[in-house]
Amino acid sequence: MEITPGIESMANNAAPYVGMSTTVSFNGKSGNISSGGAELLFNNKKKFDVMLPSSDKPWTIKNLLKWIKDNLLEERPELFIQKDSVRPGILVLVNDADWELLGALEYEVQPNDRIMFISTLHGG
């Protein structure tokens, strides 16, 4: 899944963390795609352009995951989220880079980031 945030309202300088539009995608692959993977938990939608609401907390991936769980997940959240993080075996890419390089759960989502979740939990 892929999430790209964009600034919701640049004018709203008062809020410490403005809302952002973000792209969230699942098993997104460019080129010829055979479907399948984590998007099955999201009503088969591979890509979401989302607007994150303004918040008094930074939009860390940790907070974003919680937001995804509350707003996008259609079924069986335990197959996507375990405790505060993604289920082990789901890879997370932020703008095509491994989230482990960016602080993982603590990474603060920036406007227009593309956040992708790729499940490895299927046959090879």
Partner 1 sequence: MPVKCTRCCVKVAVLKRPKTSDALCKECFFWAFETEVHETITRAKLFKPGEYVAIAASGGKDSTVLAYIMKLLNERYNYGLKLVLLSVDEGITGYRDDSLETVKRNQQQYELPLKILSYEELYGWTMDAIVRQIGLKSNCTFCGVFRRQALDRGAVLLEVNKIVTGHNADDIAETVLMNILRGDIARLQRCTLITTGTEGAIPRSKPFKYTYEKEIVMYAYFKKLDYFSTECIYSPNAYRGHARAYLKDLESVRPSAILDIIHSGECMSVKDGIKLPTQGLCTRCGYISSQEVCKACVMLEGLNKGLPKLGIGKSSKVKRRVESLCKDASKEEESC
- Binding positions for partner 1, rule: CB under 8 A: 27, 29-37, 40, 87-89, 91, 93, 96-98, 100-102, 118-124
Q: Which is nearer to partner 1, 12 or 120 (CB)?
A: 120
Distances (CA, A) of 6 to 50, 70, 90, 123: 9, 20, 24, 35
CB of 33 to partner 1, least distance (A): 8
**How many other C-beta atoms are found inside a 10 Å radius of the C-beta of residue 91?**
15
CB of 53 to partner 1, least distance (A): 26
Q: Which is nearer to partner 1, 29 or 69 (CB)?
A: 29
Q: Which is nearer to partner 1, 75 or 100 (CB)?
A: 100
Q: Which is nearer to partner 1, 70 or 96 (CB)?
A: 96
| Helix ranges restricted to H, 1-124 | 61-71
CB of 20 to partner 1, least distance (A): 19
Token pair 């352009």 is at which residue?
A: 49
Rounded distance between C-alpha atoms, residue 7 and residue 9, angstroms: 6
CB of 12 to partner 1, least distance (A): 26
Backbone angles phi, psi at 17, to 5 degrees: -125, 100
